[in-house]
Structure 1
C-alpha cells in the first residue's frame, strides 16, 4: 500500500489547522474589556461636550462660595459677545447678612430676562431652563459685567467671588442672578448718610436740614404704614458698638422694626451703623447726660453736665453728633438730673430741632421742656431691664408683657433696654408673638409726636 496519499492528507489537515490558529481572535480578559469600554465612553462624552461648546450649548456653571446666603437664580440665555447684565438695584435685594430667601422677580427687568412671562419670572423655572443655586460672596457673581479677564470660565461666564465651581446640567450656559418672589418679608435698607443733610463744624460733620427741606428724622426713619388700628409697640436697644459680638447679634438677630442706639465712645461706628441700616434697622445716637449721684467721670469727657455752660455743652454736642451719620434721632444715656434742668436741656433740644433730628427721652422730664419747640420727640413708656444672665430673663419677660399692656390701653407704647445676650434672646422670642396677639411692631420713629415734622 502506498503511504504517500495518507501522509499528504495529514499534511493538508495540519496546514488548515495552523491557518485557523493564525486567524483566531486574541483572548481578552474582563479587565481589558472594562478599560476599552471606559475609553469609548470618555471619547463619546468628550465629543458631545465639544459639539455643544461649538454650538453655544453645554452645561450651566454656577459659583458656590461656601457658608454664604442661599438664593435662587435662573440660567438665562446671554450672547457670548454681549455683557452679562447686572441685576438692577432694589430695596428687595437680599444682603449677605440675611437668611435664605428668594427675591422679587416681578420687576420689568426680571420679567424681560426670564422670557417675558411674569408668572414664570416669579416662580423661577420653565420647561427649558433649570433652577440654579447661587451662594453670593462679598462680591456677587456677575456684578462687575462681562469682560475677557481670567475670572471667566472658558471665556463664557464671569465669577468675581471666591469659592468652588460646580457644573449643573442645563440648556443654556451662564448663570446670571435673577430676582424672584420673596419667601420672607423684604428687607428695606435705611439710606446711607446724605451729604445734603450734613454740615461741617470744627469737630466734624453733624446733621442739618437740607436746602430742599429734608430732615434726618424722616429721611433715616424706617418706613412704616401706620394706618392699622392695631396697637403699636416699638423697642429701642441701646449701648451698641461697645461689644462687637453683641452688636453683631443685635443687628442680625433682632427684627428690623427694632431701633438700635449706639454709644458715642464706641469704635468703628460708621461700620456698625451702616451694617445696621443695611439690615433695615433705623439708628440713634446716645447722648451721655448727668444723672443723680454716681460718678460723673464715668459719662466720659463729652458728657452734658448742668455744671457746664450752654456753650460748653453745645460744643460737646458737636462732637457727639459727628460720631457717625445716618441717625434719625438722639436719645439720652442716664440724664435724670440734666433733663430736669430747663436751662441746661433747652439749648440741647433746640440744637437737635435745628439739625432736623428727633429726640427720645427715657427720664420723663424732657417732655415739658420740649413743648413749643416743634421738636419731634417722645417719652419711653417702659424701661426693660438689661438681663446679664438667664436668671434675669423672667424680669425681661415681665416688663415686655407690661409694654404690651400699655400698647393695648393707649394704642401705642415704646420700650427701651440695653444690649445683653439674654435680653436679645428674649426680645427675639417676644417679637414673634406680637402678630398673633394683634399687636403691630413699629419702629421708634413712627411714635414720635410733633406737628412740625416735614418731609
Structure 2
C-alpha cells in the first residue's frame, strides 16, 4: 500500500507540471509586409512561429520575404483581391471577371516576387472571395504551385473552401483580426479573444499588421502565453477541421404551392338536421355495445352454467 501511494503521488506531481497534451494552437500572421522594413524587422525579432504575409508588388517584398525565411518564419503571399467597396487598389489586384490565364500570370509573378512562400492569403478581397467562379480560377493556379490558402475572411460568405473542393488546395480560416484599431488595449483584448478561441476550438488563426501598437502588444504577450496555448505556424493547421460558412446561390426560385388534398372532393351534406346526442344516450349506447360483445356473452354463458351446477 505505501508503494501504491508513492506511485499515485509521483503521477500527480508529473501531471501538475507537465505541459498539457491537448493544448490550444494559436497561429499569428502579420500581413502587409514589404513596405516598412524598420517595423517589420521588429516583427522578425519575435518568435519564429509568428508568420508573415508579403505583398508581392511592395518595394521590399523580396528582401523581407528572404529575411523572414532566414529568421525561421513561415512566409505567405499577401495577394491583393478586389473588395466590394471602391478604394485604391494595388497593382495586379485579382477580380472575378479576369480570365484563368490572367489570374495564373498574376499568381506566377507573385510566387517569383515572394521567395520561400508556402501559402497565400487575400489582401482585402470581399468581392473576389465571395465569387465562386473567381475563386475556382484562383484554386486551380494555387494547386499548380502547391500553395495553401489562408482565407482572411474579409466577408462571411467567402467561397474559398467551396472553390477548393476537388483540388489539392488546403484552406484554413482567420478567426480574429488583432488590430482593427491601433489602440493597444483593443489589440490586447483581441489577442486574448484569439487565445480563448484556440482553447475552445483547438486552434485559431489571428491576423495583424506591422503597426507600432501591434508590435508592442506582441512583444508583451507572445512570451506570456498560458501553459495550455501553443504558438504554431498556420501551415501546421492544414489538417485541422474547418467549417464551410459559405452560402449557396440565393437566387429566388419558384416554389409550387402545396397540393390541396381536398381539391375536387365534394363535402357530403346531411339530408336531415342533425339530432343532438345527450350524455345519457351516449353511455347507453356504449353499454349496449359492451353487453353485446362476444367476450361478455361468453362470460355470461359461463356464469349461468356455474350457477346451474351449484344449484344441482
- Tell me the TM-score normalised to structure 2 length: 0.66
What secondary structure is seen at the aligned counterpart in 2 of 1:299?
coil
Alignment of 1:148-187 (within 5 A): none
Find the partner of 2:81 among 289, 298, 305: 289
Whether 1:380 and 2:174 are equivalent positions in the alignment is yes
Q: Which residue of 1 aligns with 2:307?
A: none
Larger relative helix fraction: 2
Q: Which residue of 2 aligns with 1:404?
A: 195
What secondary structure is seen at the aligned counterpart in 1 of 2:239?
coil
Q: Which residue of 2 aligns with 1:279?
A: 71
8 Å CA contact 1:386, 1:423 repeated in 2: no
What do the CA deviations read for 1:7-58 (whole angstroms, capped 9, x no partner)? xxxxxxxxxxxxxxxxxxxxxxxxxxxxxxxxxxxxxxxxxxxxxxxxxxxx
Q: Which residue of 2 aligns with 1:367?
A: 161
Cα distance between partner residues in 1 of 2:99 and 2:144: 19
Find the partner of 1:424 among 194, 197, 215: 215
Q: Which residue of 2 aligns with 1:266?
A: 58
The count of corresponding residues between Structure 1 and Structure 2 is: 218
8 Å CA contact 2:82, 2:127 repeated in 1: yes
Cα distance between partner residues in 1 of 2:73 and 2:141: 24
Instruction: Give structure 1 stretches of 5+ with no counterpart.
Output: 1-226
What do the CA deviations read for 1:131-166 (whole angstroms, capped 9, x no partner)? xxxxxxxxxxxxxxxxxxxxxxxxxxxxxxxxxxxx
Whether 1:316 and 2:106 are equivalent positions in the alignment is yes
Q: CA deviation at 1:387?
A: 4.8
Q: Which residue of 1 aligns with 2:22?
A: 229
What do the CA deviations read for 1:262-319 (whole angstroms, capped 9, x no partner)? 1112223332222111211111111100111122xx2223110123223222222222
What do the CA deviations read for 1:312-363 (whole angstroms, capped 9, x no partner)? 2222222222213111101100011101111111111121112111110112
Cα distance between partner residues in 2 of 1:290 and 1:328: 22
Q: Which residue of 2 aligns with 1:239?
A: 32
What secondary structure is seen at the aligned counterpart in 1 of 2:128?
helix
Alignment of 1:17-56 (within 5 A): none
Q: CA deviation at 1:450?
A: 7.8
Find the partner of 1:448 among 238, 251, 256: 238
Q: Which residue of 1 aligns with 2:49?
A: 257
Alignment of 1:109-128 (within 5 A): none
Q: Which residue of 1 aligns with 2:268?
A: none
Instruction: Give structure 2 stretches of 5+ with no counterpart.
Output: 1-19, 242-312
8 Å CA contact 2:23, 2:202 repeated in 1: yes
What secondary structure is seen at the aligned counterpart in 2 of 1:302?
coil
Write out the 4+ residue segments of structure 1 that deviate beyond 6 Å after TM superposition. Answer: none
8 Å CA contact 2:33, 2:61 repeated in 1: no
Cα distance between partner residues in 1 of 2:178 and 2:172: 17
8 Å CA contact 2:25, 2:231 repeated in 1: yes
Q: CA RMSD in A?
A: 1.9
8 Å CA contact 1:302, 1:319 repeated in 2: no
Alignment of 1:182-193 (within 5 A): none
Cα distance between partner residues in 2 of 1:386 and 1:424: 14
Cα distance between partner residues in 1 of 2:53 and 2:215: 14
Alignment CA distance shift 1:279-1:231 (3 Å): same
Q: Which residue of 1 aligns with 2:90?
A: 300
Cα distance between partner residues in 2 of 1:271 and 1:414: 25
What do the CA deviations read for 1:371-394 (whole angstroms, capped 9, x no partner)? 232212201111212554xxx111
Alignment CA distance shift 1:278-1:386 (3 Å): farther
8 Å CA contact 1:386, 1:418 repeated in 2: no
Cα distance between partner residues in 1 of 2:38 and 2:240: 36
